[in-house]
Amino acid sequence: MATVKLENVTKSFGELQIIKGVDLEINDNEFVVFVGPSGCGKSTLLRLIAGLEDITSGDLSIDGSVVNDLPPSERGIAMVFQSYALYPHMTVYENMAFGLKLAKESRESIEGKVREAARILQLEHLLDRKPKEMSGGQRQRVAIGRAIVRNPKVFLFDEPLSNLDAALRVQMRIEIAKLHHDLDATMVYVTHDQVEAMTLADKIVVLHGGIVEQVGSPLELYHHPRNLFVAGFIGSPKMNFIATKVTAVDDAGVSVTLPGGETIKVPVNGENVQPGDKVTYGVRPEHMIETGDADAHIDGEVFVVERLGGDTYAYVRAEGTEMITVQTSGDSHVGVGDKLHIGVSAATSHLFVADGDALPLLARNPMADARKGGMLSDAPGPKAEPH
Amino acid sequence: MSRNARRLLLRIAFYVLVIFIVIYTVFPFYWAINSSLKAGTDLFSAAFLPPSPAWTNYVSVFEDQPFALNILNSVYVSGVTVIISLFLAVTAAYALGRIKFSGRGVLLLVVLSVSMFPQIAVLSGLYEVMRWLGLIQRLESLIISYVIFTLPFTVWILTTFMRELPKELEEAAIVDGASPWQTISRVFLPLLGPALATTGLLAFIAAWNEFLFALTFVGNNNETQTIPVAIANFSGASEFELPWGGIMAASVIVTVPLIVLVLIFQRMIVSGLTAGAVKG
Amino acid sequence: MTADASAIAPENLGTETAPRASKLTRQRVRSAWIFITPMLIMLALVAGYPLISTIYYSFTDRLLIADHNTQFIGFNNYLYYGPNLNNYDEELDGYFVYYEDTDAALVYRDDGVFYDLDTEDPDTGAMDPYAGEIDTADVFEWQGLLVDSLWWRSVWNTLTFSVVSVGLEIVIGLVVALILNANMPGRAVIRAAVLIPWAIPTIVSAQMWSWMLNDQYGVINEILLSWGWIESRLAFTADRFLALPSVIAVDVWKTTPFMALLILAALQLLPGEVYEAAKVDGIHPVKQFFRITLPLIRPALMVAVIFRALDALRIFDLIYVLTSGSRDTMSMSIYARQNLIDFQNVGYGSAISTGLFLIISAFTLIYLMLGRVNFDQER
């Protein structure tokens, strides 16, 4: 049973404020992912929770009690580091047992906990190895094992997969998801990789410049981005943004002009805008159709085509825009120089006012509250990595 | 002259220079060995090989002088100096290299400036300290005073090595609940093995070679002398004739182990010297 | 990606001036001081206190004999105008002065009065002040460190020695380092050979060279004679003009390896691409050396030079053994120890030591300012 609560937490290094007042609640058993671009403060925020950095102001509570002043080892947390940070001179067993030994636990209890963690992580046959005799994935599992034996209230992961190659990363991602499922523990996970964020998180926290831009489930962020930053950060390829003006406002939505002259009525709450206001129209590449009938259309000329096999990306130049990305199917015959009549749908369109905030959609996307992806409780675990 | 001929000539010149450098550096030591093996009047011939090699000079070093005792003195003084300096330096280097606190920069500067002290500048004050501690003519006076040059550079070099250890390793230890002392003794020390060996060796050599303090504090007594003082004060049967054969034999005896050590630990020594100086 | 935090807090945990330092930070700072204290105490005992004592003694007439009554005499050890200090006579309780003009034997006491030795009462030792006129210019002289010709000679010797030997070491060290840096067979052997002089204790190398330079049986004389370069054997270590060059030659032999290794380490850190680019551009190797290599290794060279220069300025053992500290090779350290220990004059010896310390400090400061040497390259 562990909750984490941050109340107006700030962190400064000298004059420079890195975390500018963060309020956040992490529920029991929740998998929370901090995501954001380099330098957004996500790692710092994790290190504040761990106790590796001092909180400049604000309160941090774990399980209801303020822990600002507690050293990391007394906070009931365990941390998995980006570089694994295994003790190079100790065997796998000693690495996992080190913290327990320092806590003066009995030999039998240490042995039991280490063996159990090794069983969960399929490390039993590696207990006598030194870190340098193992592969990256195995080291990563040892680092997780070292966290498990502490039986922490909260697991903290600092970009744990960024040192692995792409294939291994997918495999470890699944393993971590399974671990969360099996251990029923609260986990906080930092990454800059939005695929990791989307696939692992119950709740994503998007950080930017030391403040929280939005907190929500992965699909909530995808369908209801609160502002331009989140809209652009979540989703790949990036959402298309087109600067335009409001032409009309009524109860059913806000109308704007698209390049080429057509008008689209986006179903958003237009209380705060008037005709003539500058707004940004946003639509995701995967929500555009290459050609054909739709709520409205944008005319443009293709100047680059990227074929990925399953998908094709067409980069289009339209009047008054820099570049529009259109995602279309792998068997599309679109070619450079083609003139496209791209279709967009009102339901998947977004509008952002001048300061970047999104106008709230009138209808909530049904997927925004969909059940999180998961696995059968008796699903077989991913195969142990060959060694 | 053709291009090839010029290249060949340059090559030859290069190797002549190399050979010259090798002779220049090695010859004095060779000459010491050569002389030490010449007994009696052979010593005064400039033959490049001893006409009739003999060990008499080596025997006389141990029979006419308490040279074995001098060696023991030097081993004792240098050994204990190294242990004390390393112990003090490891903890200090951890604090200076890995903990951020106000005053750290000043402390580093103090350590550095002490390492640049001319030893003569503290000689009279140190003499009084030793007299007050009752250590004049005792080897312990050297152990204490040698710290003045071994400690700053061991701290300096170890601080450099400490800084290079990964930060996450220390944080992992903190999360595991290790105190600073436990972090040093159980996580960092095992990793600093090579660095400790290097610094220890450099400190040992520095203490082994020290002359000024040894001459001043324990120089009046054959029995308490360290090797450098013994070799400097070597006296023979006659007051006017220095026993060169014996001096060379003694020189060879104390130098061979050092050269062996230095050659074995070549790479480490170079890395230690450069850690202290180049990276500074 | 931990760069988030570490880019801003490049190392270590916690911050110096956080308004609310946590228990962890406080504990770490506290243990930092606990860890440093033993070192500081030790340094205070062997360096701080002795240095302050030395400076203090230089203002006294302290002697090495334990029970001597030490008095504070201000700057007299440095500069003093008065009767010759060597003529102090404890029995007379003053300085013996012979006044040539009137052929009078006098005693000058601390009260500033000249007493007539002829009037001394054989029982009580009491004397009458001298009746005649005395021109003090005839009996007083300037004394002390600042007018001591032997001190200035030792300063001159030390500086000459330091400049010449460090200069030669740089040049030879560079040559040796460049050779060691070249790709050639047997590089390891040559590197090992170069390390030998460094490994030999200074005293031992001094004795080895002393033997090689011996005026009767030395091999150097033998070789020079057989090559016909000299006509008679030279007394290298005793000759007025050869003694200092001999000392320099031995020091260069002993310490060039250190210099060469430091330069070599710097050379090996140089990026190879620069040289490939220079080769492509067709830049002459000699020009490469002066335009690329030298500027790039300058910082390392500056540090190596100051280490060696400070070492050279305190030269003691080599000279002590090679030339026994004759006037021609007297160094500041030799002169200081001679006064401190051999002449037992702690006061004057300390003044010399203090002078040496001041010269070295001034040199270091000037060098650091001019050279902008950066020692604390924190990462």
Please indicate, yes or no, whether residues C193 and C244 belong to a single structural domain of this protein: yes
Domain membership of residue C376 (yes or no) is: no
CATH topology of domain A238-362: OB fold (Dihydrolipoamide Acetyltransferase, E2P) (2.40.50)
Triad A236, A239, A244: Cα angle to 5°: 170
C261: contact with B, CB 8 A cutoff = yes
Task: For residue A284, give how far its alpha carbon lies from the nearest alpha carbon of chain C (Å).
Answer: 28
Sequence spans of domains, chain A: 4-223, 238-362
Please indicate, yes or no, whether residues C270 and C210 belong to a single structural domain of this protein: yes
Please indicate, yes or no, whether residues C137 and C230 belong to a single structural domain of this protein: no
Please indicate, yes or no, whether residues C122 and C168 belong to a single structural domain of this protein: no
Residue of chain A whose Cα is closest to the Cα of C14: A53
Tell me, what's the pLDDT at C282? Answer: 80
Task: For residue C31, give how far its alpha carbon lies from the nearest alpha carbon of chain A (Å).
Answer: 15
Tell me, what's the pLDDT at B263? Answer: 81
Please indicate, yes or no, whether residues C115 and C195 belong to a single structural domain of this protein: no
Please indicate, yes or no, whether residues C112 and C253 belong to a single structural domain of this protein: no
Please indicate, yes or no, whether residues C271 and C297 belong to a single structural domain of this protein: yes
Q: Which residues of A touch B178 (CB under 8 A)?
A: 73, 98, 102
Task: For residue C379, give how far its alpha carbon lies from the nearest alpha carbon of chain A (Å).
Answer: 17
Domain membership of residue C125 (yes or no) is: yes
Out of B176, B186, B187, closest to residue A73 by CB: B176
Chain-chain contact of A13 with C2 (C-beta, under 8 angstroms) = no
Triad A65, A68, A69: Cα angle to 5°: 105
Share of chain B above pLDDT 70, in %: 94
B231-261 per-position pLDDT tens digit: 888 865 555 567 888 889 999 998 888 888 8
Tell me, what's the pLDDT at C11? Answer: 40
Q: Tens of pLDDT along chain A (387 residues)?
A: 588 999 999 998 888 888 998 999 999 989 999 999 888 889 999 999 998 888 888 999 998 888 888 888 888 899 999 888 899 999 999 999 999 999 899 999 999 999 999 988 888 899 999 998 888 888 988 999 999 998 888 999 999 888 888 888 888 888 888 888 888 889 999 998 888 899 899 999 999 988 999 999 999 999 999 999 999 999 888 999 999 999 999 888 999 998 888 899 999 998 888 898 999 999 999 999 887 778 889 988 999 999 998 899 999 998 878 899 999 988 888 889 888 889 999 989 999 998 889 999 888 888 877 766 666 655 554 444 444
- Between the alpha carbon of residue B93 and those of residues A65, B86, B96, B114, B162, the distances in Å are 37, 10, 5, 15, 7
Chain-chain contact of A38 with C19 (C-beta, under 8 angstroms) = no
Chain-chain contact of A87 with B187 (C-beta, under 8 angstroms) = yes
Tell me, what's the pLDDT at A212? Answer: 92
Q: What is the pTM of this model?
A: 0.83
Lowest mean pLDDT among B19-28, B142-151, C4-13, C199-208: C4-13
B39-94 per-position pLDDT tens digit: 777 777 777 787 778 888 888 888 888 889 999 999 999 999 999 999 999 999 99
Task: For residue A75, give how far its alpha carbon lies from the nearest alpha carbon of chain C (Å).
Answer: 12
Interface A-B: count of C-beta contacts within 8 A: 55
Residue ranges of chain C with per-residue pLDDT less than 50: 1-18, 376-379
CATH topology of domain A4-223: Rossmann fold (3.40.50)
Neighbours of chain B (3+ CB pairs under 8 A): A, C
User: Mean pLDDT score of chain B, rounded to an integer?
Assistant: 85
How far apart are the C-alpha atoms of C124 and C110, rounded to whole Å? 19
**Which residue among C123, C143, C163 closes a domain?**
C143
Query: Which residues have CB under 8 Å from A360's CB, separation 6+?
Result: A224, A268, A269
* Residue A90 or residue B221, greater confidence: A90
Chain-chain contact of C196 with B26 (C-beta, under 8 angstroms) = yes
Q: Which residues of A touch B187 (CB under 8 A)?
A: 87
Out of C1, C20, C24, closest to residue A71 by CB: C24
How far apart are the C-alpha atoms of B147 and B131, rounded to whole Å? 17
C114-138 per-position pLDDT tens digit: 888 778 777 777 788 887 777 777 7
Residues of chain B contacting A, Cβ within 8 Å: 166, 168-169, 171-178, 182, 186-187, 190-191
Residue of chain B whose Cα is closest to the Cα of C29: B101
Out of B105, B120, B280, closest to residue C353 by CB: B120
Torsion of CA B114, B120, B124, B126, to 10 degrees: 40
Chain-chain contact of A81 with B168 (C-beta, under 8 angstroms) = yes
Q: Which residues of A touch B191 (CB under 8 A)?
A: 88-89
Q: Which residues of B touch A81 (CB under 8 A)?
A: 168, 171-172
Out of A38, A52, A68, closest to residue C4 by CB: A38
Q: Which residues of B touch A48 (CB under 8 A)?
A: none
Please indicate, yes or no, whether residues C88 and C185 belong to a single structural domain of this protein: no
> Count of domains in chain C?
2
Sequence spans of domains, chain B: 3-54, 64-277
Tell me, what's the pLDDT at C90? Answer: 76
Task: For residue B269, give how far its alpha carbon lies from the nearest alpha carbon of chain A (Å).
Answer: 23
Domain membership of residue C354 (yes or no) is: yes
Q: Which residue has the tokens 């060469």?
A: C260
Out of B21, B126, B279, closest to residue C176 by CB: B21
- Which tokens in the block code for residue B238? 């006659």
For the domain covering B64-277, report its CATH number: 1.10.3720.10
Please indicate, yes or no, whether residues C364 and C242 belong to a single structural domain of this protein: yes
Which domain range does residue C280 map to?
Answer: 147-371
Chain-chain contact of B175 with A52 (C-beta, under 8 angstroms) = yes
- Which tokens in the block code for residue B273? 């010297």
Tell me, what's the pLDDT at A363? Answer: 84
Q: Give the mutation candidate from A47, A54, A158, A164 for the C interface (greatest C CB count, under 10 A).
A: A54
B98-116 per-position pLDDT tens digit: 888 888 888 888 888 887 7
Domain membership of residue C197 (yes or no) is: yes
Tell me, what's the pLDDT at C168? Answer: 94
Task: For residue B188, give how far its alpha carbon lies from the nearest alpha carbon of chain A (Å).
Answer: 9
- Output the 3-class SS for chain A: CCCEEEEEEEEEECCEEEEEEEEEEECCCCEEEEECCCCCCHHHHHHHHHCCCCCCEEEEEECCEECCCCCHHHCCEEEECCCCCCCCCCCHHHHHHHHHHHCCCCHHHHHHHHHHHHHHCCCHHHCCCCHHHCCHHHHHHHHHHHHHCCCCCEEEEECCCCCCCHHHHHHHHHHHHHHHHHHCCEEEEEECCHHHHHHHCCEEEEEECCEEEEEECHHHHHHCCCEHHHHHHCCCCCCEEEEEEEEEEECCEEEEECCCCCEEEECECCCCCCCCCEEEEEECHHHEECECCCCEEEEEEEEEEEECCCEEEEEEEECCCCCEEEEEECCCCCCCCCEEEEEECHHHEEEEECCCEECCECCCCHHHHCCCCCCCCCCCCCCCCCC
Chain-chain contact of B124 with C304 (C-beta, under 8 angstroms) = no
Residue B217 pLDDT > 60, yes or no?
Answer: yes
User: A62 pairs with which residues across the strands?
Assistant: A4, A65
**Which residue among C91, C112, C143 closes a domain?**
C143
Q: Give the mutation candidate from B116, B124, B268 for the C interface (greatest C CB count, under 10 A).
A: B124
Count CB atoms within 10 A of the CB of residue C365.
10
State the average pLDDT over residues B124-131. 89
Residue of chain A whose Cα is closest to the Cα of B171: A52
Neighbours of chain C (3+ CB pairs under 8 A): A, B
In this structure, are residues C251 and C317 in contact, taking their beta carbons and an 8 Å threshold? no
- Phi, psi angles (nearest 5°) of residue A341: -120, 85
